[in-house]
Amino acid sequence: MSEQILHKNPATGLPVGTVAAFLNLSSALVALYTDGTDQYGDPKAAWFCLGCGTRSHIARQLATSRIEANNHSAECRAIPWPQASLV
Ligand SMILES: [Zn+2]
């Protein structure tokens, strides 16, 4: 099994295709981002925590991934990880 590649927007540090972000208990963001479509053409989504680095294993239906991202943000206490300066 290969590792899923996560492309980030260099200006924001969020995954490309981010449609929502949730705050965890220590104010780190959990980003919900679109990741392709299913066999019916409906968008699939995945999530990534910018605090602890945990991410969803596979892209799921948008509503399902939104619930998972929100649940993770409600239990994760990782602090926001410092970003390398782009300047
Ligand atoms: Zn987390």
28-42 pLDDT, tens per residue?
A: 999 999 999 999 999
Q: How many angstroms separate the alpha carbon of residue 7 from the centre of ligand 1? A: 18
Cα–Cα dist 22/72, whole Å: 9
Return the pLDDT at 63: 95
63 CA to middle of ligand 1, Å?
19
Answer yes or no: is pLDDT of 2 > 90.
no
Half-sphere exposure of 81 (CA within 13 A, CB side): 13
44 pLDDT more than 90: yes
Residue 87 confidence class, pLDDT cut points 50, 70, 90:
low
**Per-residue pLDDT tens over the stretch 13-32:** 899 999 999 999 999 999 99
Show contacts of 18-22: CB within 8 Å, 24+ apart. 19/45, 19/62, 20/66, 20/69, 22/69, 22/70, 22/72, 22/73
Q: How far, in Å, is the centroid of ligand 1 from the Cα of 74?
A: 9
pTM, whole model, 2 decimals? 0.86
